[in-house]
Structures are given as structure tokens and as C-alpha cells.
């Protein structure tokens, strides 16, 4: 497959950073975006550029804050100027995690998580879709989560953002398929990345002490989760997500699975839901005479 021009958000650390490197190692041109490249993320920017220079890999770091319309517009202009107005792959990876007692999350807390995890993807897609539509080709990869399919206790707000990403992404896949543009959803399981170390803290934490037994369950759940992802023998490695993304990028257009589960702990559970949903959606599309829009197959990476 020809080498692709790829934009990825949230490339300072975690999945985004690892994926940017892997794609560049395989000859793709990567526009690794992150916010505050001359401030908080300056060390990450410099480390990534130093790595690219040493490896002779084509990575360009671009300032982009997915919560800012103006920042996205500025990044779009910079990138499309550099590519002569073309783009092949959009990877919506930027995200934040916040867990806890739901009442502790104010409306503003809800907005903050949705601003990054949901509206950030909308800003990016809306900015670059005119380019993809003009080309009549392209790929949008939405980084979701198994928590876009299942509910864990004390993950309500984060779960809600990922369920929303799932709905928006599948609908977008139907709309863009006739235009020659693929949408692929990646559903990682639990991994030890910097996302875990950057937990969003809700404003109303004092309310947790009033939750008695539920607060005890929260403490127990949080400790069990940290223990699980911190275990050096955990079968889930962040590189597996990067590998899955690379495979999607290099798969022929029109043949990509809609969903890819990357989880060696409980991926089979997610796949049951994906398969059930796929059958339901296939029937729904058929009933509306829209079977040609169906691309609801999925893949699981669990061995």
C-alpha cells in the first residue's frame, strides 16, 4: 500500500506517541499533534522530534488543542499547506479519563470530559472532512474503548463519552461509505498508559464521603484497577493498540472492519456485544433498504 499522510491527536504520550512512531517507522508521514508544544508538552515535542531525527522518520509536530475551534483551524491550515491540500488518515486519539461517584461530577465536569473525548473528535472530523470528500478517499480512526460497549461501576461520565463516540462513529461510517471514506473504531481494553496517571478529578469530591458502602466499593475498585494495569505480566501492552492502528492504515480501502477490539483480558465480552449489534444493525439497514451501507463487521485481537 502507498505511504499515507496521517494526522494523530494526543501524540505527546501513550497510544498516540507509540502509534506516531510506529507509523513513521513504516514509512508514513505523521503529523503528530498535541497542545501546548512550547510549554507543558515541550519536552514531549522535543523527544519525539529527536527520535524522528535519529530514526530518519518523517514526523512533524503540530500545535493542536482539540477543545479549541481556533487551534484546530490553525493546525488544519498548517498541515494542509504542508501537504498541498491532501490528507489520508485522521486518528482521533486524544482523550482524558475520569472515574468516581457520579454525583461528584458537576455539569462543568461532564462538559470537560465531553469537550475532549467527544467534541474534540467532531472538531477534527469537521475540519478535515471537506478534504477527504473532495478526494473521495480517506480513513478516520476513532479511538474508543471497551467502555463504549460495557459499563464499569464508577466510570459513568467517561463511559458516556465513549458510548457517544461509538454512536457518532457508526453513523459517520454509514454516511461516508458511499463517498469512498472509511471509518474504523478501535476499542482498547485496560492498558497502563499516561491516561491512568492523568485522572480528571471532579469538583465535588467532598460528596464521596456521604456515599458509605458505595464509597468503599469505589476505593476497592480503583485499587483493583490500578493493580491490574500495573502488573508487569498484564497481557495488554500499549504497542498492541499501535499495531492494530497500523494494520487498519495499511488495509485496503473498503475492506476494513468497522470495529477492532484490542484486549487480551476481556475482549471476548466486547466481541459478543459487537456481534449482536452487528446483526441488529444489519437487519435495521435491510428494513430501510440501506443494506449497501452495512460495514458492521469487527475484529478482535486477544491472542
162 is a catalytic site residue: yes
> What is the torsional sign of CA 163, 149, 19, 177?
negative
- How many Cα neighbours within 13 Å face the side chain of 112? 13
* Residue from 45, 144, 278, 298 carrying the catalytic annotation: 144
- CATH topology for 5-270 is Rossmann fold (3.40.50)
Please report the pLDDT score of residue 274 as a whole number: 94
* Residue from 162, 169, 278, 298 carrying the catalytic annotation: 162
Phi-psi region of 268 (alpha: psi -120 to 50; beta: other; left: phi over 0): alpha
Please report the pLDDT score of residue 23 as a whole number: 98
Please list the ranges in the chain whose pLDDT falls under 70.
Answer: 1, 195-197, 296, 298-303
Please report the pLDDT score of residue 196 as a whole number: 63
12 is a catalytic site residue: yes
Please report the pLDDT score of residue 303 as a whole number: 45
* Residue from 31, 97, 158, 174 carrying the catalytic annotation: 158
CB 172 within 8 A of CB 183: yes
Query: Residue 118 and residue 95: Cα distance in Å, rounded?
Result: 9
> What is the torsional sign of CA 30, 27, 146, 282?
positive
Query: Residue 148 and residue 165: Cα distance in Å, rounded?
Result: 7
* Residue from 12, 145, 169, 298 carrying the catalytic annotation: 12
Query: Residue 160 and residue 154: Cα distance in Å, rounded?
Result: 11
Please report the pLDDT score of residue 226 as a whole number: 84
Query: Residue 224 and residue 53: Cα distance in Å, rounded?
Result: 40
Q: What cell does 65 get?
A: 488543542
> pTM for the complete prediction?
0.95
Query: Residue 236 and residue 302: Cα distance in Å, rounded?
Result: 9
Please report the pLDDT score of residue 202 as a whole number: 93
Amino acid at each position: 500500500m502507498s505511504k499515507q499522510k496521517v494526522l494523530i491527536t494526543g501524540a505527546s504520550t501513550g497510544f498516540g506517541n507509540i502509534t506516531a512512531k510506529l507509523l513513521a517507522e513504516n514509512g508514513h508521514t505523521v503529523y503528530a499533534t498535541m497542545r501546548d508544544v512550547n510549554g507543558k508538552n515541550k519536552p514531549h515535542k522535543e523527544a519525539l522530534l529527536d527520535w524522528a531525527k535519529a530514526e530518519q522518520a518523517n514526523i512533524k509536530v503540530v500545535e493542536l488543542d482539540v477543545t479549541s475551534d481556533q487551534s484546530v483551524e490553525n493546525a488544519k491550515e498548517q498541515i494542509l499547506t504542508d501537504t498541498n491540500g491532501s490528507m489520508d488518515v485522521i486518528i482521533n486519539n486524544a482523550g482524558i479519563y475520569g472515574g468516581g461517584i457520579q454525583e461528584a461530577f458537576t455539569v462543568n465536569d461532564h462538559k470537560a470530559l465531553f469537550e475532549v473525548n467527544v467534541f474534540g473528535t467532531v472538531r477534527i472530523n469537521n475540519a478535515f472532512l471537506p478534504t477527504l470528500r473532495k478526494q473521495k478517499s480517506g480513513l478516520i480512526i476513532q479511538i474508543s474503548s471497551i467502555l463504549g460497549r460495557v459499563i464499569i461501576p464508577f466510570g459513568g461520565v467517561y463511559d458516556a463519552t465513549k458510548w457517544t463516540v461509538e454512536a457518532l462513529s457508526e453513523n459517520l461510517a454509514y454516511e461516508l461509505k458511499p463517498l469512498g471514506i472509511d471509518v474504523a473504531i478501535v476499542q482498547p481494553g485496560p492498558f497502563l498508559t499516561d491516561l491512568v496517571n492523568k485522572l480528571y478529578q471532579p469538583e465535588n469530591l467532598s460528596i464521596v464521603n456521604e456515599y458509605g458502602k458505595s464509597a468503599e466499593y469505589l476505593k476497592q475498585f480503583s485499587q483493583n484497577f490500578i493493580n491490574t494495569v500495573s502488573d508487569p505480566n498484564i497481557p495488554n501492552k500499549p504497542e498492541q493498540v499501535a499495531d492494530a492502528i497500523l494494520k487498519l492504515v495499511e488495509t485496503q480501502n473498503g475492506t476494513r472492519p468497522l470495529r477492532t477490539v484490542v484486549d487480551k483480558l476481556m475482549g471476548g465480552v466486547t466481541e459478543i456485544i459487537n456481534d449482536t449489534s452487528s446483526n441488529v444493525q444489519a437487519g435495521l439497514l435491510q428494513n430501510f433498504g440501506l443494506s449497501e451501507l452495512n460495514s458492521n463487521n469487527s475484529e478482535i485481537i486477544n491472542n
